[in-house]
Structure 1
């Protein structure tokens, strides 16, 4: 069900009247209690993921407030994720806090991150460039893989084996080990594999159509380690995935091999009880190779991003308030390599310095941030944010925030031969939000947010498909979620997402942007061992051309899932996505998955 704690939304499977404090890191780039957040934040935990009917990251995210998903087929196809109606390149996606996007396309291969490896997802809606720099105009999605926590009944160590089958025919499996030691070691690692025959992603009238099934094969490895010491902590995170996708598109390629890697090593030094510093070194790779059997050659696009981050945080407490000062510097190098074309520039250095301040004084909270970025291609950018939250009465809080953002043009925007513009300016934005979070009673919660984002120097394509900076765009919207526990067995939830993505130069809606969606869900636990979930999602039509003369039709999908605990160590799960086999598309010319049935069993040791 959709629950709110402060402004956290999530499908809470366990029926608890009192929620433990939820610690988040994505909005302010530091750990903080979600109850003091001044902007909208969604937290999806491991229990939600396990209980949902979702089979991949795209199908999981699509029901959450502010999130829009457009897929170019089923498993293994490209999937664009956006927040609050901005473009995919204006939404920052992180894996364990590391940028994992392509520097040529500007998007992240979320299809290559299996759900089985994820312990938590944080979605911070609204501008967060003051914390993260470029790309966070619509918000930030931080995908966090599994660590040593999560073993049931307070166990220090556990291993789990999961195998499953699905229709259209496919299979998946995962082996993972997690644990903690008395000496302060926290560890989690897992191996995941999946293969599916798929279906035909395109229709007979689609460009590049081939009448065959488009399958997907993938293997991945994830690792998280940390060791506590008297002086602080050492830690390392790593995620690697290699997928092989089939698709319909080009005469010389119909298969893509995609490698996704995001890793970092770091150290935290505790200077005093209320002051610490961190240093992190990170590396990320996005590597795509397109080819076709029987056709000589292949097309490679590779991004390597290496960076370093230094931060420090100091907390001061007075009789009336708590003050948190934090700041840092970061720099990273982006390099691209391709055998398709010759870019005029193939690497660039980006650097930023930022500072933040947070005040907590009883029922009143404030946070503020300022950041200055340097990009050797287009120059400098300064962004900031300011937010406040006030508890009007017990259980009812009001919040408001304002932030600015920017997005640096990608290498494709600037240098792709014949289809680029080296004189492009960075896109810039201003965003404002106001919201209410109301815990009406222990069983009922409501969260409402209204927002508006202005984007200037937005990058668009002219009649010759050359990118250029247009005047401005304005996106206005309302998000609302509600959850109610009827009794110990039944919980219902719902959400609404209404927005107007307007091109202010033409007065038309920006194409390929969701305008309305709504969901209704229910969780039924007739026994301690059995949990049944259902979720209905409605997505309204959206324009697919700049002149607003053509639309993709609206659609309704229904998903079901059942989990059954055979004993304390074994669990069965049956899930049905798109149970009524709705025929729909989220991108013109590409068919979304039809009815998908999966059955899996997990055994813990």
Structure 2
């Protein structure tokens, strides 16, 4: 008979504390078996063939040691990873927070699949990532796969996959918290408590932040309607992990968040909020199992102010959406040479918008709109990682059935009369994708890898049905959009010439067919359209050098991206996709001794890029430097100083025919951390 008991604290790098499987007392003549140690709060082991796709890992020390305290800024350590705009989640419009990799940009939707413990994080309606709700202190690490196709991740990973893993029991002290005060009356408070409960543990955490913000408008363009980019948001998370037996655990999570921001003009307010819940069963036995189910409720509001009259032009007052999905993955016991993954996954998104258009002369409503629909994917996959000595072969295939249904667009006059009533035909289809890769240890310090892959993405409800205005430009939706389809290949080498030195080089070629772009039709009108393709060739380099307490991590990406277009979009042919820099680099130098003060500094460089599809407006290159210093006062309490954009570099985030928005200026923080 088996039973679980909680042992004393086990000191170790991976398990603090752990849970021991105890047997009934054996006969005195029999030896006592050693305990089995279970690490709670993680998923299944990473397959051995993962490195064939050129992954990059960010550890917990880096996640919790960034000057801004924001996950989107830490992710920029992976050169080539970017949001649609250069603003972070304090001053950007939430709907512009799409994430992409390898210059496969063109609009604000995420082309990278962002997962938290296997759960997709993209907003079900818009496709943006709620970065303010993804607190670095709650995470144990991040793995970024640039390219790689869909595979077992699920549909939507056309540019790559960003896997966020929650902090495990090993990462979490009983009590953890921090309080910071910064420039422009900024405040940031985080707190977490993680007690052991029964056969597992519970983590309750929260973050609140606010700030008076900065002027995104340059001084020479400010008018009486310009205001600071104020922000105020909070999130709360409850995560519980319980061991069912020596190899099985149940993980549950609830997340609630609220986010309010003002962008540029008085009254240009936006908000986003969400309630997420997930339940996950992980079994590490001979038949490994990962079963996951989740539900997401989200909403978004946004008020658009005219840049000429400075009056309300559009009130996007309600955009409720729901995401429901799940995944089951099985790993049957087939011997040590093979790791086979078999599974199914599904995701459904449904949502609608309600908005009112206003006359910027009279201030009265001119039209009321209601639009929305449903999208869904259901897929099955199989993958095999085959280890042959120093050679690992990996490959897999998946098939997905996708649907786009219940699409509609209604517009009513101020009197309530129905002036437009579009009901769009339901669509469905089947998409087959696959990927193959190989990695070989040529010598003790040289690994060679190669991979080829395909993927696809269903248009978001936002792209299909929601028009939007960044005054004075109106961008129309397009209910007839086709799926985006990726084909890609890459080769790379990973070198470890000396202890503590690791260098990675990757050359790649990606083609995103039927890429969705915001295509200019007139100077004040754009529409979402499928262009023939976005083709990108590039080189990525990473380096890690560590000696004692000193470590340097650097990353560089060169992307040669061009649009292939014909027909109504022919003017875009050969041009660089909007918001896609050719050069991106990042480097972090850190001094982290076992005891005493720690220091780190991060230098980032983003090259010039175009604001729009016609290459008429340029965002100049920008270089920023940030630093963090931590001085322990006691074993559990430390003073922390943080500095963003130390030299107050000008970072242009938007350029609409000379109308400029700016990114975060120099920002200084002082705070205390309890751990």
TM tier, shorter chain?
Answer: 0.7 to 0.9
Please, which of 241, 256, 260 is the counterpart of residue 274 of structure 2?
260
Counterpart of 1:574? 641
Separation of aligned partners in 1, 2:222 and 2:320: 26
Counting only pairs closer than 5 Å after superposition, residues 58-73 of structure 1 correspond to structure 2 as 58-69=72-83, 70-72=85-87
Counterpart check, 1:455 vs 2:512: yes
Counterpart of 1:275? 287
Counterpart of 2:145? 124
**Matched pairs, number:** 566
CA positional deviation for 1:146: 3.2
8 Å Cα contact 1:147-1:188 kept in structure 2: no
Separation of aligned partners in 1, 2:651 and 2:146: 27
CA positional deviation for 1:263: 2.4
8 Å Cα contact 1:537-1:558 kept in structure 2: yes
CA positional deviation for 1:179: 4.6
Counterpart of 1:413? 463
Counterpart of 2:496? 439
Q: Specify the SS of the correspondent of 1:328.
A: strand
Separation of aligned partners in 2, 1:290 and 1:338: 11
CA positional deviation for 1:38: 0.9
Counterpart of 1:599? 670
Post-superposition Cα deviations, 1:22-80, rounded to whole Å, max 9, x if no partner, equal x9x99xx9531678521121222221122332332222222323312323466152334
Structure 1 stretch displaced more, 84-93 or 575-584:
84-93
Separation of aligned partners in 1, 2:466 and 2:180: 43
Please, which of 359, 384, 388 is the counterpart of residue 386 of structure 2?
359
8 Å Cα contact 2:154-2:345 kept in structure 1: no
Counterpart of 2:422? none
Q: Specify the SS of the correspondent of 1:256.
A: strand
Counterpart check, 1:176 vs 2:192: yes
| Structure 1 residues not aligned, in runs of 5+ | 1-13, 15-22, 152-156
8 Å Cα contact 2:601-2:627 kept in structure 1: yes
Counterpart check, 1:545 vs 2:612: yes
CA positional deviation for 1:128: 2.8
Counterpart of 1:223? 238
Separation of aligned partners in 1, 2:589 and 2:248: 44
Please, which of 97, 103, 112 is the counterpart of residue 91 of structure 1?
112
Please, which of 534, 538, 551 is the counterpart of residue 477 of structure 1?
538
Separation of aligned partners in 1, 2:76 and 2:283: 39
Q: Specify the SS of the correspondent of 1:37.
A: helix
Separation of aligned partners in 1, 2:50 and 2:477: 44
8 Å Cα contact 2:77-2:554 kept in structure 1: no
Q: Which has the higher contact order (CA 8 A, sep 6+)?
A: 1
8 Å Cα contact 2:648-2:665 kept in structure 1: yes
Counterpart of 1:17? none
Q: Specify the SS of the correspondent of 1:414.
A: helix
**TM-score normalized by the length of structure 1:** 0.86
Counterpart of 2:24? none
Separation of aligned partners in 2, 1:143 and 1:309: 17
Counterpart check, 1:349 vs 2:376: yes
- Evaluate the alpha carbon distance shift between residue 206 and residue 239 of structure 1 in structure 2; reply closer, same or farther with a 3 A threshold: farther
Post-superposition Cα deviations, 1:514-553, rounded to whole Å, max 9, x if no partner, equal 1102233322357831111112222211123333344211
Counterpart check, 1:304 vs 2:322: yes
CA positional deviation for 1:468: 2.4
Counterpart of 2:33? none
Counterpart of 1:3? none
8 Å Cα contact 1:508-1:547 kept in structure 2: yes
8 Å Cα contact 1:415-1:422 kept in structure 2: yes
CA positional deviation for 1:562: 0.7
Counterpart of 1:164? 180
8 Å Cα contact 2:62-2:74 kept in structure 1: no
- Evaluate the alpha carbon distance shift between residue 168 and residue 55 of structure 1 in structure 2; reply closer, same or farther with a 3 A threshold: farther
CA positional deviation for 1:204: 6.2
8 Å Cα contact 1:100-1:261 kept in structure 2: no
- Evaluate the alpha carbon distance shift between residue 208 and residue 396 of structure 1 in structure 2; reply closer, same or farther with a 3 A threshold: farther
Counterpart check, 1:139 vs 2:160: yes
**TM-score normalized by the length of structure 2:** 0.78
Separation of aligned partners in 1, 2:343 and 2:98: 31
8 Å Cα contact 1:96-1:237 kept in structure 2: no
8 Å Cα contact 2:116-2:164 kept in structure 1: yes
- Evaluate the alpha carbon distance shift between residue 202 and residue 188 of structure 1 in structure 2; reply closer, same or farther with a 3 A threshold: same
Separation of aligned partners in 2, 1:412 and 1:205: 35
- Evaluate the alpha carbon distance shift between residue 261 and residue 93 of structure 1 in structure 2; reply closer, same or farther with a 3 A threshold: farther
Separation of aligned partners in 2, 1:229 and 1:469: 49
Q: Specify the SS of the correspondent of 2:462.
A: helix
- Evaluate the alpha carbon distance shift between residue 73 and residue 158 of structure 1 in structure 2; reply closer, same or farther with a 3 A threshold: closer
Post-superposition Cα deviations, 1:214-256, rounded to whole Å, max 9, x if no partner, equal 211111112222211237222212322111111236x8x5222
Counterpart of 1:402? 452
Separation of aligned partners in 1, 2:55 and 2:225: 42
| Structure 2 residues not aligned, in runs of 5+ | 1-12, 14-38, 306-310, 356-367, 405-427, 468-474, 566-572
